[in-house]
Amino acid sequence: MLEIKNLHARIAEDGTEIIRGLNLTVKAGEVAAIMGPNGSGKSTLSYILAGRDDYEVTEGDILYNGESILELDPSERAAKGIFLAFQYPVEIPGVATMQFLKVAMNEQRKARGEEELKTPDFIKLVKEAAASLQIDMDMLKRPLNVGFSGGEKKRAEILQMKLLAPQLCVLDETDSGLDIDALKIVSDGVNALRSPDRAVIVITHYQRLLEYIVPDSVHVLYKGQVIKSGSKELALDLEANGYSQIIEDAA
Ligand code: ADP
Ligand code: MG
Ligand code: MG
């Protein structure tokens, strides 16, 4: 589903190269975990997948279902079923979360040539999804992410993901700032989305999240490259021994 080939990318503003020859393949049905020390380029990779224009791809390619997405803007990527949950979710003042969700869902339907959702149908879908994530409907009357706690932001991201039902989901540090109960709710939400025709990339610092979302593959990102890939045992090894041995071996 996703094939990243020899990707090089830099910060548009000052030309600093952050992604330096990254290779990664994720198949449909797979849950892939990306781990790596702080500053290794994990969030940058998620921004590049989203198509943010503050990064420039200088070499290599990103294929999604066999086609390059490099020329697509963020909304075109979203319409094709790519969903990103960022480490620092964007605040949208002045727009109630409910309204935001409705616009997002209808834009997706429009891109697919489907009819707009009728309000009662929309409300039913949101109520069901919110209940499963233990989100209070009052929270959805507030502007998206404005004044939300860390846990509320992450739940709101998973709610969007549930409602948009994307094909490729990328979750950047969805576990940071979550207490154990919220972590379980969010993990259950992600696990419910597992399906043979969907791929999930979970970016995380800690093994803890991977006890709840058990990955099919684990990839270590360091200085903008995947330096080691393995099965879920690799995450356990990292938790026990840290990154230093793997970094030494790669050097
Ligand atoms: P991670 O998510 O793995 O912790 P990041 O992708 O956030 O790493 O950052 C990788 C490196 O790139 C860091 O050294 C960071 O400071 C730098 N970086 C990323 N984006 C920018 C930017 N827009 N401006 C300046 N530095 C950046
Ligand atoms: Mg970081
Ligand atoms: Mg990060």
Q: Ligand 1 in contact with 33 (CB < 6 A)?
A: no
pLDDT at 208: 84
Residue 64: predicted pLDDT: 97
Best of 20, 44, 87, 226 to mutate for ligand 1, by most ligand atoms within 8 A of CB?
44
> What's the CATH code of the domain at 171?
3.40.50.300
pLDDT for the residue 11: 96
Torsion over CA: 34, 39, 40, 43 (sign): positive
What's the pLDDT band for 83 if we cut at 50, 70, 90?
very high
- Residues 130/131/133/138 CA torsion (nearest 10 deg): 50
Ligand 1 in reach of 40 Cβ (< 6 A): yes
Domain count, the chain: 1
Domain of residue 139, residue span? 2-250
In this prediction the pTM is: 0.91
- Please report the ipTM that was assigned to this predicted complex: 0.93
Q: Closest ligand 1 atom, CA of 37?
A: 3
Tell me which of 8, 43, 47 to substitute to probe ligand 1's pocket, judged by most ligand atoms within 8 Å of the beta carbon: 43
